[in-house]
Amino acid sequence: MKLVFIACERCGKTFYCETLLTDNRLPLHCPGCDTYIDHADYVRQVGPSVSSALTRIRKPLNEATIPEILYMPEKKG
């Protein structure tokens, strides 16, 4: 897991996100102006996707499939 810094072109805020999100071309949420930045709009900042283990997963990664693909530990207590 790696972190990348993204500068929002709308409000200028810089924030970080995991390459898990950018590699899968998911929209990024800007904490500065509360909007989502599409992959097409931030790809120039992160460069082309590099291959990772996730590229071997056949299912698309989205909100519905993330719980199936990623291990989410149960909360205790």
Binding site for Zn ion (CB under 5 A): 8, 10-11, 13, 30, 32-33
- For residues 3 and 33, which CB has a smaller minimum distance to Zn ion in the complex? 33
| Nearest residue to Zn ion, by Cβ distance, number only | 8
Helical spans, DSSP H, in the chain: 19-23, 39-46, 66-69
Q: How far is the CB of 6 from Zn ion (least distance, A)?
A: 9
Q: How far is the CB of 63 from Zn ion (least distance, A)?
A: 21
53-56 long-range contacts, Cβ below 8 Å, gap at least 24?
A: 54/20, 54/23, 54/24, 55/23
Q: How many whole angstroms separate alpha carbon 60 and alpha carbon 41?
A: 20
- For residues 32 and 49, which CB has a smaller minimum distance to Zn ion in the complex? 32
- For residues 15 and 25, which CB has a smaller minimum distance to Zn ion in the complex? 15
Q: How many whole angstroms separate alpha carbon 2 and alpha carbon 17?
A: 8
Q: How far is the CB of 10 from Zn ion (least distance, A)?
A: 4
